[in-house]
Structure 1
Amino acid sequence: MKTFDAVVIGDANIDLTVVGANEIPLPGQEVLVDHVMLHVGGGAAVFSLALAKLGLRVAFNGILGDDMYGQYVRAHFAKYGIDTRMIKTSRLHQTGISIAFNPDTDRSFITYAGTNMELRMDQLDLEQISEGRHVHVTGYKGRSNHEPYMAMAKALKAKGVTLSCDVGWDDSGEWYKGVFELMRYMDVFLMNETEALHYTGLDDIEDSMRYMAQYCSHVAVKLGPKGAAVMKDGILTRQGAYPAEAVDTTGAGDCFNAGYLFGFLTGQGVGDSLSYGNACGALSVGAYGGSTGSPDAEALRAFVAGHAQPLKKGVE
């Protein structure tokens, strides 16, 4: 019997959400805004909180600073039952901070990565991490950390855990093709439409998913307002997005991941998992903060039951 349903490896930081900033102040100026809010941010942290709200046993593995923001993140994790014993405390850097302007429109960010810069896959305690029956990893940076990710994935697979990965945006612009090697070790591989098109070099998302199916039998791609698509065992399934009034799109993709993997980890099929993912994404954007609007399991199932959204399936 595993201790955790999922161990999540990746980034955690503070998000400062600035609402009503119609302009960025010039030197010497001051701009008054409607509100500034404090939330837990970072893709891995938002995913962990959303998954824990759904009732799964979650542990977080990352690095926080020895500061008030690090304490805030730990306390927020504890509030939702997330185990924090795998989190390391650093005195080299402070906990990261990201400032988001106008989250309801075209967001702009100022980010200090902080302790997240210190996380290394080759320094993880894999024996401790394998206490989870599933491991979700983030922070893949292509060529710069490909080999440590490969070694980690191979070692964890050998320990009998299932794996998922959300690659995120490639800041280098290379879109390293080694990602397809990493896909071979993943039970579920997640990305958004833009990332999928960049990695495959193709112009059509369904063509991209057919291409990636050569390397991973289970790929989920987030399509923003168009919903999401999944290629599993040669079958392509698409579902449109649920209606939502967006006030803050921060963390919507991470909440989709949580809903989708909640379905996967509770033995649901692609259709139900896709509905859960899209529902979590829709509920997320209705509140400020990455995970604030994410539901518990009862609210999730009630939302899906009350909002019919057809699935489109086809054999590829």
Structure 2
Amino acid sequence: MKQYDVIVIGDANVDLVVAGCSDMPGPGQEVFVRNITLHVGGGAALFSLSLARLGLRTAFNGVLGDDGFGQFVKERFNQSGIDTRFIRTSNRNNTGISIAINPEKDRSFISYMGSNAELDLQQLDMRSVVLGRHVHLTGYRGSRNHAEYMDMTRRIKALGLTVSIDVGWDDTGEWYKGVFELMEEVNVFFMNEVEAQHYTGCSSAEACLKTLSAHSRHTVLKLGAMGAAAAVDGRMLYRSGFEVPVVDTTGAGDAFNAGYMYGFLTGQPPEQCLLYANACGAMSVSQFGGSPEALNHAAMEQFIAEKAGRTTDHWQIAQ
């Protein structure tokens, strides 16, 4: 029996969430805001927290600075039952920091990559990977590390593990078409709608999904408040989202991924995976911080049950 359900490889940092910032200060000025809170950040880290809180045995593999913020992240991981023994401590960079401004609206970020820049798949200790039955990857950067991700994905699958990837936003604007080659190797591939539009050149979610499904047996498309869609073995599925008050959208996509992978790794059909994913994403945006501390399997099921009679959520085959 494997020691872990999931090995997560990717970024971890801290998020400073600034709420109620109506104006940015000019030179020599000071602006007072409604609140500033400290949370764990980074897509891979937030995914890990949500997945562990749902009950899957999770280990994290990344790089943190030798500082107070790095210790803060490790403490939060340990509290959620995430194994941190594979985390490397940097002696060159501090832990990354991201300042999220106005998280309840179209949030803006000021970020320092820090120790996350040192994550190198070529230096990864594969002895940690074989302890799990699934690996989740983040940090894909197009042509800059495409060869590394192709090699790592193939090595992981050769060991008998399944692989999922959230491709993430391309801050270079390259939108490297080699991503379609990577999709062919990955068991579950996540994108949001805007990313998919950039990669495919299509304008509608349906057209994007059709294009992506030609390269992947299992693609999940995040549609924000509209819900999500998936293409699995050529069959296209859709679930609308839950209507909830939005407090903080930071990390909602990562909580969504965790809900979906929880369903996938517990043997649920895609329609149930989408339901779990939408529920976790909705629970995430309902409070500050990317991974709600109240999230667990029972809370997720209760959320779904309470919303069942008061939501437009439905299940259909996309044509």
Whether TM exceeds 0.5 here: the answer is yes
The CA deviation at 1:307 is 2.1
**1:252 partner amino acid:** A
Q: Deviations over 1:20-40 (max 9, x none)?
A: 111110010011111110000
Give 1:125 shift.
1.1
Q: In structure 2, list runs of 5 or more residues that go unmatched.
A: none
* Structure 2 counterpart SS, 1:302: helix
Q: Which amino acid aligns with 1:245?
A: P
For 2:254 and 2:302, how far apart are their aligned partners in 1? 21
User: In 1, are the aligned partners of 2:16 and 2:38 still within 8 Å (CA)?
Assistant: yes
1:134 aligns with 2:134: yes
Residue 63 (structure 2) pairs with residue 63 (structure 1): yes
Identify the residue that residue 144 of structure 1 maps to in structure 2: 144
Paired AA for residue 311 in structure 1: W
Q: How many angstroms apart in 1 are the aligned matches of 2:62 and 2:260? A: 22
Q: 1:283: how far off?
A: 0.5
DSSP-derived class of the 2:4 partner: coil
Q: CA deviation digits over 1:106-141, x for unaligned, max 9?
A: 211110000000101111112321211000000000
Distance in 2 of aligned mates of 1:284 and 1:293: 9
Which residue of 1 is the match for residue 198 of structure 2?
Answer: 198
TM-score (norm: length of structure 2)? 0.97
SS at match of 1:17: strand
Q: Please list, as runs of the form range in 1=range in 2, the aligned pairs for 1:82-161 lying within 5 A after superposition.
A: 82-161=82-161
Cα distance change of structure 1 residues 245 and 114 upon mapping to structure 2, 3 Å threshold: same
Contact 1:286 1:293 in 2 (8 A): no
In structure 2, what is the Cα distance between the partners aligned to 1:145 and 1:198?
A: 19
**Paired AA for residue 87 in structure 1:** I
SS at match of 1:89: strand
CA positional deviation for 1:184: 1.1
CA displacement, residues 122-174 of structure 1 (integer Å, 9 cap, x when unaligned): 11112321211000000000000000111100100000000000000001111
Q: Please tell me the root mean square deviation across aligned C-alpha atoms, in Å.
A: 1.0
Separation in 2 of the partners of 1:260 and 1:157?
20
Q: Is the 8 A contact 2:283 2:292 kept in 1?
A: no
What percentage of aligned pairs have identical amino acids? 54
1:277 is aligned to 277
Alignment of 1:300 onto 2:300 = yes
Q: Determine the C-alpha separation between the residues in 1 that align with 2:262 and 2:305.
A: 17
> Is 1:312 equivalent to 2:316 in the alignment?
yes
Report the number of matched residues. Answer: 315
Q: TM-score, length-normalised on structure 1?
A: 0.98
Distance (Å, rounded) in 1 between the aligned partners of 2:300 and 2:165: 23
Q: How many Å separate the matches in 1 of 2:294 and 2:269?
A: 21
Change (3 A) 1:294 1:285: farther
Residue 37 to residue 79, structure 1, CA distance change in 2 (3 Å)? same
In the alignment, is the contact (CA less than 8 A) between 1:64 and 1:116 conserved in 2? Answer: yes
Asked if structure 2 preserves the Cα contact closer than 8 Å seen for 1:25 and 1:31, the reply is yes
Alpha-carbon distance in structure 2 between the residues aligned to 1:237 and 1:294? 29
Does the alignment pair 1:34 with 2:34?
Answer: yes
Shift of 1:105: 1.0
Task: Check whether the contact 2:53–2:297 (CA below 8 A) recurs between aligned residues.
Answer: yes
Indicate conservation of the 8 Å contact 1:50/1:294, yes or no. Answer: no
Corresponding letter in the other structure for 2:60:
F
Moved over 6 A (4+): none
Show CA shifts across 1:238-268 (max 9, x none): 1111011001000000000000000000000
Question: Does residue 172 in structure 1 map to residue 176 in structure 2?
Answer: no
